[in-house]
Structure 1
Amino acid sequence: MRSLMRVSGSDLRLLQVFDAVVRHGGFAAAAVDLNVSQSTISNHMTALEERLGFVLCQRGRGGFHMTEKGRAVWEAGRQLEKALQDFSTDVASVRGELRGELRIGILDAVVSDPANRLADVIAAYGRIAPHVRLVIAQERPQDLQQKVLDGLYHCAIGSYRNRIDGIVYDRLHDERHSLYCGRLHEAFDADDAELTDARLAAMPFVHRGYWRDEDTLRQLDWRIEATVFQIEPQLILIQSGRYIGLLPNHYAAEGVAAGTLRAIRPEEIGYTCEFELFSPRNRRPSDVAAAFIETVRTVWPSAQDA
């Protein structure tokens, strides 16, 4: 019976190599990223598998595939890496320094929103914590909360209708979404009065697959014929003239001004997303994270009013 594995410095290096292999989908690309030979990658992977006592991935003519145990080890390794980074940050805080890494999750298609103050927050935070390294990652709405809860992100800024225990929510701003079609679509030159519920319900609709609570978002029985998980591919499908779909108004504004997009019955059809700051409730934030959260609450007008 194997005893519990005690992680050493050499183990951390092997786990970093494994992470590179997973991120790049194979040995060759990982070797380029790490600036080592492919044989070195192979030797490191063999050493890690021997250390653990099981196979992490299948490699050969069929390509690179992680085993179920390999995926579990990779996810545990990511958690370990984050914990080590947080340890370094906490030690710096003991010395009275704001140093280390701050990990923030955000949604896609937010940069064009004039109500989004993240750039201002980062500028203000940089003045009080110039030595903190920022890692900003884009995620799907429902993943943001869970990854904050799991400690993969120190905090996140996003919108999702279903809240979970263990998260503190600070309201930031609202984002309005309306129904749009492209210039080549049959509805583009029609009057709103002609675009009845029945006519719109018969048109192919592009749906964002992460919205599970569909009944609160659909005022019509949409004819869903395309699914996306980011807003940019949704815009491309709408611009094709084949689909109608719901987009953030700020994101569609440039297309409307250029005459390539048109809002359909905007006073009647659409919904509002409430953007919030997600931070962990039951875990003491590091000084680095606490300073950022306080900066958000100071700089973002609605957070001050919440």
Structure 2
Amino acid sequence: MRLSGSDLRLLQVFDAVARHGGFTAAEAELNISASTISNHMTALEERFGIKLCQRGRMGFRLTEKGEVVLDAARRLFTSISDFDAEIGALRGTLTGELRIGLVDSIVTDPQSRISQAIAAFGERDGSVSLTLMQNRPQELQQKVYDGDYHCGIGSFPHIISGLEAIPLYEEQHFLYAASTHPLFASGEGITLEKLKSHAFTRRGYWRAADEKRLLLGPVESTVHQIEPQLMLVRSGRYLGFLPEHLTKPWVEAGELKAVLPEQIAYTCTFSLILRKGYRKTETLRTFLSDILEAHRSASQRPFRSP
């Protein structure tokens, strides 16, 4: 079958519905009512002769064929965007769409030069639609691998097969306690042995070796992003590792402090990740160049070109 412009629009509706997990949840993004979305989905199913999703009292879910169509549709959207970018490059302008994935809680890090790179990219001739998304490290890697994102930036304890990582900068983490935690006022009386009796919060994406090295007391909570971990530590009930740059306002206010900073700390590397073998458009190559140049200027260390 040959796809028309109206087919592409229906597929975009389908993509939004799948991402949001239902018709009502997709209303805000699509700016149309749930009943209109339902009509569009019915029209798409009739056009393809395939049942794409189940909806009703039991909730919303894609059928097996719906999953296949969704995957194909997303590859199609990526190809169309890359086509636009390549045609724009032939005219000497940057066009198309860039989808970039990020981990959370990096905007306060002075080592991160992402905003500066975006500013430099925005000064270039062209009209590129830039989309930033936030995900957990594992999800971010998978989306870059699947082609949902053109690239990703974050700290990844383990890089999955099929991706390449280019180091950008480093982030320092310390173990923190809140002012309401029993150890806060202990001063020099804190020992590694004393930590064994206090609850810790862990990162769900840490590997076993990281947990053995860093979790010195019983684990009583789990997070998958940094900001929830900050909330748990500030509650005074848990000890947890946090980025130094993120805790600075609370440390200066006397509400948080690092525990045994000379003995307990770790450094993680933030990297730019790309899918190996992915054909980069001129728009993507230019953005990657701006990202690397921004961090090169900040660190004065060499980077290899992507």
Shift of 1:300: 1.1
Q: How many residues align?
A: 300
TM superposition shift of 1:204: 1.4
1:258 to 247, 250, 253: 253
Taking the aligned partners of 1:38 and 1:144, their CA distance within structure 2 comes to 29
Work out whether residues 226 and 242 of structure 2, in 8 Å CA contact, stay in contact via their aligned partners in 1: yes
Is 1:117 equivalent to 2:113 in the alignment? yes
3-state SS, counterpart of residue 99 of structure 1? strand
Unaligned runs of 5+ in 2: none
1:35-63 deviation per Cα after TM superposition (whole angstroms, max 9, x unaligned): 44433322221222334444332222333
Given candidates 288, 292, 301, the residue that maps to 1:297 is: 292
Q: 1:61 to 1:294 in 2, by over 3 A?
A: same
Identity %: 49
Q: For residue 220 of structure 1, report the CA deviation from its aligned partner.
A: 4.2
TM-score (norm 2): 0.89
2:119 corresponds to which letter in structure 1? A
In structure 1, stretches of 5+ residues that fail to align are none
Q: Report the Cα offset of residue 85 of structure 1.
A: 1.2
RMSD across aligned C-alpha pairs, in angstroms?
Answer: 2.2
Structure 1 residues 217-236: aligned runs within 5 Å:
218-236=213-231
Q: Counterparts in 2 of 1:8-157, with a 5 A limit?
A: 8-31=4-27, 33-157=29-153
Q: Which amino acid aligns with 1:214?
A: A
Provide the TM-score with structure 1 as the length reference: 0.89
8 A contact 2:200–2:215 mirrored in 1: no
Q: Cα–Cα, structure 1 residues 221 and 72, in superposed 2: closer, same or farther, change >3 Å?
A: farther
> 1:6: how far off?
4.6
What's 2:210 paired with?
216
Task: For residue 110 of structure 1, report the CA deviation from its aligned partner.
Answer: 0.4
Measured in 1, the distance between the counterparts of 2:28 and 2:160 equals: 41
Alignment equivalent of 1:280, drawn from 275, 280, 283:
275
Letter in 2 for 1:42: S
**Compared with structure 1, are the counterparts of its residues 156 and 260 closer, same or farther at alpha carbon in structure 2 (3 Å cutoff)?**
same
1:215-274 superposed Cα distances (whole Å, 9 cap, x missing partner) = 135334441111111111111111111111110011111111111111101111121101
SS of the equivalent of 1:128 reads: coil
Q: How many Å separate the matches in 1 of 2:215 and 2:12?
A: 49
